[in-house]
């Protein structure tokens, strides 16, 4: 059992000067509250640095240690840092000190090469030798399994990769899980026995070559063993290459996951830039149209006066038209001599006829040509005014203005968005981001080619195995000098290898059942969904939620993923002999209040020592106190002194 | 559930022993146990493990031969 007692920091990250967090030796939960950028992740990294001499940045990549020292101290010419971890393991006290200081003679370091990384471990107050100390540290907390003790809540979703047999990250995590559960003891024994069996087979073939009766088979077997050796060497090289590429792919997967948001921002920025160009072109066209329309805009100013003139002219036009029409009707009546009106069909009296006679005569003599000229002139004027009237219509103009304004607003909004994204992408190496994608695709292609080569070599190996077994069977029927002893040895190795091979499968099955049962127990306590019955484990230790009707829940939310990952953590703690503290950075970011409460309540049962690094909105202190009650051992606060200086203080409110 | 490394080792030994009894009763229980224990130290180099197991097997075969001759 590993228990942390105290963490001493000297100029590590924002923790300027010498600061200490002490943890009680009683079982329970310690909470460190800190807002963003106050140093929660730095605390997790300080523990990681103490154990492994590394600090992880975004994408779980090692960060330059030169950048880890306190900036205020560095600005004052004081470089480097030190972390000291007091812990107990199997009830023995240890002190691990690791420092990163400028090399002698270096006054202003520029990179990691200008520093010296040193560490020493003391046990029971006695400093251990370097090799002894390193071996002890590997025994206490191997780096490969550190992820189960020190973890970033933001990375919990990577455990979903365990559900996919395709994922290299999943493969790595399941290897780490098997390591913590003790499977390598069996796989290592199996590998040793396989090597020894093969060696024994080769020795038997050589022995057979030395005897006249068995020489022919011995020669054939020796050739097959030689061929097998070449094939195995080839597979080993390819697998080593594959491991390297898979490791690179896993790193790239992680980097892509971390950069997913940035990649999305890049895509959005590219789309916005295309849209901005389109709007700019459209706006140019609209502005030209508006400019054209504006050249007649003055018409709008005289439109009211012109309207009045037009009304008068139209009234006069109508009068003249009526007058001329009346003349035409009356003249028609006079000349036709009809006794009834052609409009109302009524009889025309003699008196009326007299009046028509007189009126038409006077008009004919009088002003008809002048009235006709006036009418033509007025019509020309009305037409001309109508043209001005159309040009001065403000509605159309307003619509054009609005169109231009709308596009200008659209353009400004899009430019604003693009600028905002550009700011967010300012520190991003775009070329690197695109390179990551391209490297990832390249790694997939390489892995595919290597895997195909391995499959081919394995096929040849299988043929070799069948051929060797056939010849071995024939050789077994013959007796020869020195053959019996080697044959017995070979059979013994073969049986032992088979036994351990079967033991690997049996032990894995057993472990999976235990992990599934324990994870389900945790899940029942954590989930807020009453219809969920439990979790089902796959061959890679991936866990799927099971509905009470027995069906799997195929898709789960980020929050559910988070809960399932915590259940796996709890189950591994139950089943691994390497018991240690769980130190989680931001574990509740994606969880609702109900799940937060359930998890906080369940945490003391998952590990004896739990340290939560949270911000208050993520886990309000009242909820933590209410749910943890007596299991809440201490509360700390990361108190801002400046942007580059945080104080670790016990929380007393 | 493995509380300690000893518990885990006991679980591993139990699994192997169960299989030995069920499927390979001719294999010697102590020899199998020793092969497993030799691999329980994660810091042991692979080459050393081969030597250790080879010696174990030789000792066992010599012992068997001794019994047969007696």
Q: Residue A492: its chain B contacts at CB < 8 A? A: 27, 57, 60-61
Chain B interface with A: residues with Cβ < 8 Å: 1-9, 11-12, 15-16, 18-20, 23-24, 26-27, 32, 35-36, 38-40, 42-43, 46, 49-50, 53-54, 57, 60-61
In the prediction, which pLDDT does A154 show? 64
Phi, psi of A326 (to 5 degrees): -60, -40
pLDDT tops 70 at residue A164 = no
CB atoms within 10 A of CB A362: 10
Q: Which helix (H) or strand (E) holds A242?
A: helix A215-294
In the prediction, which pLDDT does A168 show? 67
pLDDT tens profile A523-559: 998 888 899 999 999 888 888 999 999 998 877 777 7
pLDDT band for position A481 (cuts 50, 70, 90): low
Determine whether A306 is exposed, middle or buried from the number of CB atoms within 10 Å of its CB (0-12, 13-18, 19+).
middle
pLDDT tops 70 at residue A321 = yes
Return the closest-CA partner of residue A45 out of A30, A60, A28. Answer: A60
Long-range contacts of the stretch A165-170 (C-beta < 8 A, 24+): A165/A539, A165/A540, A167/A253, A168/A246, A168/A247, A168/A249, A168/A250, A168/A253, A169/A250, A169/A253, A169/A254, A170/A540, A170/A542
pLDDT tops 60 at residue A303 = yes
User: How confident is the model over A455-460, as a mean pLDDT?
Assistant: 96
Whole-number Å distance between alpha carbons of A488 and A467: 21
pLDDT band for position B46 (cuts 50, 70, 90): low
pLDDT tens profile A54-104: 998 765 667 889 999 999 999 999 999 999 999 999 889 999 999 999 999
The encoded tokens of residue A132 equal 């002894």
Whole-number Å distance between alpha carbons of A601 and A519: 16
Q: Are the Cβ atoms of B15 and A510 closer than 8 angstroms?
A: yes
| From A165-174, A205-214, A511-520, A564-573, the region with the lowest mean pLDDT | A165-174
User: How confident is the model over A626-638, as a mean pLDDT?
Assistant: 93
In the block, tokens 């001794």 appear at B66
**Choice between A150 and A58, residue whose per-residue pLDDT is larger:** A150
Phi, psi of A611 (to 5 degrees): -120, 125
A343 contacts: CB under 8 Å, gap ≥ 6 = A329
Most confident of A45-54, A132-141, A197-206: A45-54
Chain A interface with B: residues with Cβ < 8 Å: 135, 138-139, 142, 181-182, 184-186, 188-189, 191-193, 195-196, 485, 488-489, 492-493, 495-496, 498-500, 502-503, 506-507, 510, 514, 518, 574-579
pLDDT tens profile A362-373: 666 567 888 889
Of chain A, the percentage scoring pLDDT greater than 90 comes to 46
CA distances in angstroms from B64 to A283, B27, B57, listed in the order given: 97, 12, 10
In the prediction, which pLDDT does A182 show? 86
pLDDT tops 70 at residue A378 = yes
In the prediction, which pLDDT does A639 show? 95
pLDDT band for position A209 (cuts 50, 70, 90): confident
In the prediction, which pLDDT does A63 show? 81
pLDDT tops 70 at residue A421 = yes
pLDDT band for position A384 (cuts 50, 70, 90): confident
- How many angstroms separate the CA of residue B51 from the nearest CA in chain A? 9
In the prediction, which pLDDT does A424 show? 78
A435 contacts: CB under 8 Å, gap ≥ 6 = none
DSSP SS3 for A230 = helix
Return the closest-CA partner of residue B36 out of B23, B22, B19. Answer: B19
Write down the mean pLDDT value for chain A.
87
User: How confident is the model over A327-347, as a mean pLDDT?
Assistant: 75
In the prediction, which pLDDT does B20 show? 97
The encoded tokens of residue B21 equal 């009894």
| From A207-216, A306-315, A408-417, A551-560, the region with the lowest mean pLDDT | A551-560
Q: Are the Cβ atoms of A577 and B24 closer than 8 angstroms?
A: no
């Amino acid at each position: 059992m590993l228990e942390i007692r105290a963490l001493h920091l000297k100029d590590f990250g924002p923790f300027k000067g010498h600061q200490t967090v002490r943890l009680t030796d009683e079982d329970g939960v310690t909470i460190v509250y800190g807002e963003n950028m106050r140093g929660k992740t730095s605390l997790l990294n300080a523990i990681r640095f103490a154990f492994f001499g590394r600090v992880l940045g975004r994408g779980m990549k090692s960060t330059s240690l030169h950048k880890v020292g306190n900036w205020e101290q560095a600005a004052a010419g004081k470089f480097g840092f030190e972390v000291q971890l007091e812990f107990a393991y199997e009830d023995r006290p240890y002190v691990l000190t690791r420092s990163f200081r400028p090399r002698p003679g270096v006054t202003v370091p520029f990179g990691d090469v200008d520093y010296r990384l040193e560490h020493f471990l003391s046990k029971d107050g006695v400093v251990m030798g370097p090799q002894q100390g390193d071996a002890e540290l590997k025994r206490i907390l191997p780096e490969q399994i550190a992820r189960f003790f020190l973890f970033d809540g933001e990375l919990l979703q990577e455990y979903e990769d365990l559900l996919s047999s395709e994922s290299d990250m999943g493969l790595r995590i399941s290897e780490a899980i098997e390591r913590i559960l003790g499977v390598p003891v069996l796989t290592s024994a199996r590998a040793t026995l396989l090597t020894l069996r093969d060696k024994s087979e080769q020795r038997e073939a050589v022995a057979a070559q030395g005897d006249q009766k068995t020489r022919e088979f011995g020669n054939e077997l020796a050739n097959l063993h030689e061929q097998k050796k070449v094939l195995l060497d080839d597979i080993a090289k390819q697998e080593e290459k594959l491991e390297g590429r898979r490791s690179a792919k896993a790193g790239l997967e992680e980097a892509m996951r971390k950069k997913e948001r940035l990649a999305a921002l890049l895509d959005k920025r590219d789309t916005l830039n295309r849209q901005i160009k389109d709007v700019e072109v459209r706006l140019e066209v609209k502005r030209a149209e508006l400019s054209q329309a504006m050249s007649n805009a003055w018409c709008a100013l005289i439109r009211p006066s012109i309207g009045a003139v037009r009304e008068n002219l139209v009234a006069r036009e109508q009068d003249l038209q009526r007058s001329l029409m009346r003349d035409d009707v009356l003249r028609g009546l006079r000349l036709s001599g009809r006794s009834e009106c052609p409009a109302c069909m009524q009889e025309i009296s003699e008196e009326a006829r007299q009046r028509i006679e007189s009126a038409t005569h006077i008009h004919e003599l009088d002003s008809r040509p002048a009235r006709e000229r006036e009418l033509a002139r007025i019509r020309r004027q009305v037409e001309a005014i109508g043209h001005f009237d159309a040009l001065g219509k403000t509605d159309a103009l307003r619509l054009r203005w609005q169109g231009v304004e709308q596009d200008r607003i659209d353009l400004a909004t899009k430019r604003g968005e693009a600028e905002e994204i550009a700011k967010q992408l300012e520190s991003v190496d775009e070329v690197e981001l695109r390179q990551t994608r391209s490297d990832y695709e390249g790694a997939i292609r390489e892995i595919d080619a290597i895997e195909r080569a391995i499959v081919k070599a394995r096929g040849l190996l299988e043929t070799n195995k069948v051929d060797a077994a056939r010849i071995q069977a024939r050789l077994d029927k013959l007796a020869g000098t020195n053959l019996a002893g080697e044959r017995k040895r070979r059979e013994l190795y073969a049986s032992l290898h088979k036994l351990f091979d079967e033991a690997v499968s049996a032990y894995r099955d057993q472990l999976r059942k235990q992990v599934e049962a324990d994870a389900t127990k945790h899940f029942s306590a954590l989930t807020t969904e009453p219809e969920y019955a439990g979790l089902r484990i796959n061959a890679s230790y991936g866990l799927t939620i099971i509905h009470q009707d027995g069906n799997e829940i195929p898709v789960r939310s980020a929050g559910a993923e988070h809960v399932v990952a915590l259940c796996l953590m709890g189950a591994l703690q139950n089943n691994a002999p390497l018991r240690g503290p769980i130190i989680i950075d931001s574990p509740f970011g994606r969880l609702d209040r109900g799940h937060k409460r359930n998890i906080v309540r369940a945490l003391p049962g998952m590990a004896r020592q739990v340290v939560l690094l949270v911000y208050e909105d993520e886990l309000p202190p009242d909820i933590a106190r209410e749910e943890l009650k007596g299991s809440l051992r201490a509360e700390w606060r990361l108190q801002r002194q400046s942007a580059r200086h945080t104080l670790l203080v016990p929380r007393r409110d | 559930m493995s509380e300690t490394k000893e518990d885990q080792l006991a679980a591993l030994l139990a699994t192997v022993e169960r299989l030995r009894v069920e499927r390979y009763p001719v294999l010697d229980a102590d020899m199998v146990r020793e092969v497993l224990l030799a691999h329980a130290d994660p810091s042991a180099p692979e080459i050393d493990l081969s030597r250790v197991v080879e010696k174990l097997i030789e000792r066992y075969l010599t012992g068997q031969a001794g019994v047969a001759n007696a």
